[in-house]
Amino acid sequence: MAIVKMKRLRLLALRPDREELLRALQSLGCVEVREPAIDLSDPRWADMAKPDLSGLERAREQSLQLNAALDTLRRYAPAKDGLFAQRPQVTEGELFDEGVYAQGLDAARRVMEGEQALAGKAAEKAKLQTQKASLAPWTCLDVPLEEEGTATVPVHFCSVPGKTDFAALEAAVGQSAELAQLIRAGSDRELQYYLLICHHSAVSRCYEAMRPFGASRVTLRGWTGTAAANTALLDNRIAALEREEAECKAALSALGEKRELLRRCVDRASQEISREENKSRLIDTDAAFVLDGWFPAANEGELGKLLGGFQCAWETADPTPDEYPEVPIKLKNNAVTAPFTAITEMYAMPAYDTVDPNPLMAPFFIAFFGFMMNDIGYGVLMVLGTAVFLAKARPKGTMRHMMSMFFMCGISSVFWGCLTGSFFGDFLSKLFDLTGAAAAVPGYHDAAGSFIWFWKPLFTPINDTITVMIGSMILGVIQVFVGMAVSVEEKCRHGQPLDALTQEGAWWCILIGAGLAIGGPMIPGAPAVLGTVGMVVLVLGVVLLPVGSIIRSKSAIGAVTWIWDAYQGISGYFSDILSYLRLMALMMAGSIIASVFNTLGSVFGLVPFIIVAIIGNTLNLVLNLLGCYVHTMRLQCLEFFGRFYQDGGKAFRPLAVETKYVDIKEEM
């Protein structure tokens, strides 16, 4: 388990072979293409240029269309995949089949045309409904909407605010002109509508009288016939549009059978995008192209065999120390440590030529998580749930890593639960007490005869708080010391043994010496010389600190600055070790919450006890999963990684076939 050794690849090949070579490299999946270190503005490289990006744009457009079609089908033809639906398996040849891809693009086009037609009908229906709403106030009048009256007696369609006193409006118009009449129509939430019929000589006086009431003229251009007749026509057209909408939705629903085809084509489009993006990092001439990249040294044989099938020239080389910041990072781990890559990538990838943190972190992460969860029932649920999900759903990438990690943490929880005798808290104890079977169940009982567990627990979080606290700090000291040991190994490997001695070595002496000097005399039966040995070791560490500071600073100022270093070291080490008390806090919190729910349910009898226990322990499990994960990860990323970890690496992202909806199987 380590950081995989990488090598650099420089390749010069014929341009007509470019597509086939990139496809072969994608199938091999072990080369990450990088930008060549060539300045195209240099006249010496005047004949070289970046490849045409039209292929990338086309692939992205096709991907957008395919994904949009899938989104449309999710609305009109929901999939019935289920939680553990398995992805279909196809060969690479089937994935890259041009005929299938053309069918998928055609299906996506039909889906999008169907959605556009549906959207057009919905927009037209909305427009007609708006028109219908505008005609609604006039439907009570048997007056054509194009009616303008005569030259002597004009007709005006008008409106006033909804709160207007219409009787007062009529009175005002009547006083202003005798040859005028208001015919009231309908109203809506905002306005009242009416007709103004008057002699042409009285029009201006009528409008002058209506102005204080907020009256305005309504324009109804484009309509012929009465409002009721037009409304009937609109209703007929809206009904026809609704039938057409139903037909469009039925057609889209029928296209749901193309879902698997579209999904396969989405994966195919993703491969096209990946290959075109990598192609954009090449440098072309009219006859050849240049490729620069990285690959794992272990794949050199198969890479050479692949390139031997093309007319090209290539060279491979180990990275120089100056190139280390550019080298992509790939972690080589086994089934136990690989899942923790998800945490490493969330934090930061390690720098090249440093240490892979996963094998060091994995045992602590698993142990700490289980220590805080410490329940057989919760652990069994975690193991069964993740095992079923992994077997049925076959997740990929980060999801698979997370499920595998929780599977191992569930096993750890069962282990610690066996030590504490916890099964959904004290569920069994309460259950046997309620059923009266406590005395008949073999196992360990307390002084009152209540069943505790099938054997005497090594400790219990609620009753043995001091033991749990000391155990948490011991686990913390072990992890901190392991981190220091890794730092020592790294410094020695890079030719800095003196720094390791005067830093980690000095603090080992201080921490161990202080522990022996203070704790030695407290141990019953311990020899008196133990405290003396502790003081000697402590003094040795205190001496090493200023010596190292003077050596590193190469001046007498180091004799002063070591005091600040010592202060930072003391506060840092002790605060880190005390931070591990969160192990105790989460262990006790989970146990107490489970016990509270179980006790609360037992007050009301057997059936309420079971119901409350199920609800309470489910809630407690969810809270514990979140809390244990977050706090365990914090201990790794801050207290542990801070001792030795050097970040700055970039994850290895080779040109490879990576799918979301299908699994790739070996071709027969």
Q: What is the pLDDT of residues 311-340, one digit of tens each?
A: 999 999 999 988 898 999 998 888 888 899
Return the axis-axis angle of helices 98-135 and 259-279, rounded to nearest 10°.
Answer: 110
Judged against a pLDDT cut of 90, whether residue 569 lies above it is answered with no
- Pairing state between β 647-651 and 328-329: parallel
C-alpha span between 182 and 205 (Å, rounded): 14
User: What's phi and psi for 503, nearest 5 deg?
Assistant: -115, -80
Return the axis-axis angle of helices 397-420 and 358-373, rounded to nearest 10°.
Answer: 50
User: Chain-wide mean pLDDT for the chain?
Assistant: 88
pLDDT at 40: 63
Judged against a pLDDT cut of 80, whether residue 449 lies above it is answered with no
Q: Report the percent of the chain where pLDDT is more than 70.
A: 93
User: What's phi and psi for 489, nearest 5 deg?
Assistant: -60, -40
In the DSSP assignment, the letter for residue 96 is T
Which burial class, exposed, middle or buried, applies to 599 when counting CB atoms under 10 A from its CB (0-12, 13-18, 19+)?
middle
Convert the pLDDT of each residue in 513-531 to its tens digit: 877 777 666 666 667 677 7
Q: Is residue 544 classed as helix, strand or coil in its secondary structure? A: helix
pLDDT at 462: 86
Work out the end-to-end distance of the chain between its first and last CA atoms, rounded to an integer number of angstroms.
32
Convert the pLDDT of each residue in 379-426 to its tens digit: 999 999 999 999 888 888 888 999 999 999 999 999 999 999 999 988
| Residue 35 pLDDT class (50, 70, 90 cuts) | confident
User: What's phi and psi for 149, nearest 5 deg?
Assistant: 80, -150
Convert the pLDDT of each residue in 114-134 to its tens digit: 999 999 999 999 999 999 999
Among the residue ranges 20-29, 115-124, 242-251, 539-548, the one predicted with the least confidence is 539-548
Report helix, strand and coil shares of the chain as percent, to nearest 5. Answer: 65, 10, 25
DSSP for 180-246 reads EEEEEEEE-SSEEEEEEEE-GGGHHHHHHHHGGGT-EEPP-TT--S-HHHHHHHHHHHHHHHHHHHH
Convert the pLDDT of each residue in 465-496 to its tens digit: 999 999 999 999 999 999 989 988 888 888 88
Convert the pLDDT of each residue in 47-88 to its tens digit: 777 888 889 999 999 999 999 999 999 999 887 766 667 788
Answer whether 6's CB lies under 8 Å from 629's CB.
Answer: no
| Residue 222 pLDDT class (50, 70, 90 cuts) | confident
In the DSSP assignment, the letter for residue 61 is H
Category of 88 on φ-ψ map: left (φ > 0), alpha (ψ -120 to 50) or beta: beta
Q: Which residues pair with 332 in a beta bridge?
A: 2
Tokens coding 11: 């390749």
| Residue 580 pLDDT class (50, 70, 90 cuts) | very high
Tokens coding 368: 């700490």
Q: Which CATH class is domain 2-51+280-328?
A: alpha beta
pLDDT at 193: 94
Residue 109: closest CA among 120, 98, 117:
117
Q: Is residue 553 classed as helix, strand or coil in its secondary structure? A: helix
Tokens coding 606: 């057997």
For the chain, helix (H) and strand (E) counts, in that order, are: 22, 18
Over residues 99-124, the mean pLDDT reads: 94
DSSP for 140-195 reads T--S-TT--B-SSSBEEEEEEETT--HHHHHHHHHHH-SSEEEEEEEE-SSEEEEE
Question: How far apart, in Å, are the Cα atoms of 404 and each of 341, 374, 418, 663?
Answer: 11, 19, 22, 19
Over residues 160-173, the mean pLDDT reads: 92
Tokens coding 237: 């057209």
Q: What is the CA radius of gyration of the chain?
A: 39
Judged against a pLDDT cut of 80, whether residue 661 lies above it is answered with yes
pLDDT at 452: 79
CATH number assigned to the domain covering 147-219: 3.30.70.2750
Q: Is residue 647 classed as helix, strand or coil in its secondary structure? A: strand
